[in-house]
Homo-oligomer: A and B are copies of this chain.
Amino acid sequence: MTRTPAHLIDLTCSALDELRAQTPLVQCLTNSVVTGFTANVLLALGAAPAMVDLPGEAGQFAHAASGVLVNLGTPTREQRPAMLEAAAEARRAGTPWVLDPVAIGSLPVRTALSRELCDLGPDIVRGNASEVLVAAGAGVGGRGVDSVADVETALVPAAELALRTGGVVAVSGPVDAVTDGRRTVRISNGTPLLTRVTGGGCALGAVMAAFASVDEDRWATTVAACLVYTVAAGMAAESAPGPGSFSVLFLDALAAIGPDDLARRAMLS
């Protein structure tokens, strides 16, 4: 069922209420650069982060968790089997899990790992356009962690990838797009300041895992995650004189954001 923007905003408000009522436990297997920021984003929003990423613990924890994030920013030798363990057990237990294939393309370790993880059917794949193109088998990668492709170029491959994984694919950029292969929506609330703070994209993957736990419609909850995240970023950007202040005000905005902010600011199409 396609939903109009107004329906999606209503659903986002409900999902945000649910999230704050349930405090979903979000397991993050993520990179060393953004662990602290990711945890703070989840806490500000009302979720409960837990960075359980050891082999022998990660799979067990994925059973109990409300959602799981697997982010390939700096996948250490010890994290790699833990990531596969967590993804496999999440799948078995029905715990929604998100794959963020950071900087895949020419770098061999993460690119091979991303392929293995994709075969485990991530509920959501989140990346920039270059990363999504590589995951879809249609590109060679970006420049470091940055995209060299634009979001529109990635839309058809993203939809094909979604049909292949049976999940949702979210492409982040100046405009964010979320597709499940049949339904696609664009969100235009991003701010360039999100790209001047490390973890701006990575923490969004964790937020998607948190939202995925509150409703069965993965596409809709992924849209909700993008919307809450980027509207809060827009609120913060209005009064931030620079990237340091923005990061602080963004956490405050994630804690404060409510239905009125979403209704007034959401830009969906």
- Measured CB to CB, the residues of A under 8 A from B are 25, 27, 31-37, 39-40, 43-44, 48-54, 56-57, 60-61, 64-65, 73-78, 103, 106-110, 143-146, 195-199, 241-245, 247-253, 255-256
Contact = CB atoms under 8 A, between A and B. Distances in A.
Contact of A40 (B53, B74, B144, B197): B197
Given A25-B143, A50-B144, A56-B109, 16 more contacts: A25-B144, A27-B144, A32-B32, A35-B36, A40-B243, A40-B244, A43-B197, A44-B244, A48-B145, A49-B145, A52-B74, A60-B108, A61-B144, A244-B248, A244-B251, A247-B251
A107 B57 contact: yes
The CB with the most chain B CB atoms within 10 A, among A54, A61, A256, is that of A54
A2 to B, nearest CB: 35
For the complex of A and B, 4 pairs with smallest distance between CB atoms: A244-B251, A242-B252, A50-B144, A39-B198
A49 B35 CA distance: 16
A197 B253 CA distance: 14
A197 B37 CA distance: 10
Copies in the complex: 3
Contacts of A73: 51
A52 B256 contact: no
Contacts of A108: 56-57, 60
Contacts of A107: 52, 57, 60-61
Interface of A is mostly: mixed
Given A44-B196, A143-B48, A251-B242, A54 B36 contact: no
A32 to B, nearest CB: 5
B49 A198 contact: yes
Contacts of A241: 252, 256
Given A36-B36, A52-B103, A103-B52, A249 B255 contact: no
Given A109-B57, A255-B196, A245 B248 contact: yes
A36 B33 contact: yes
Contacts of A40: 197-198, 243-244, 247
A250 B244 contact: yes
B249 A36 contact: no
B53 A243 contact: no
Nearest to A57: B107
A251 B243 contact: yes
A228 B241 CA distance: 19
A106 B36 contact: no
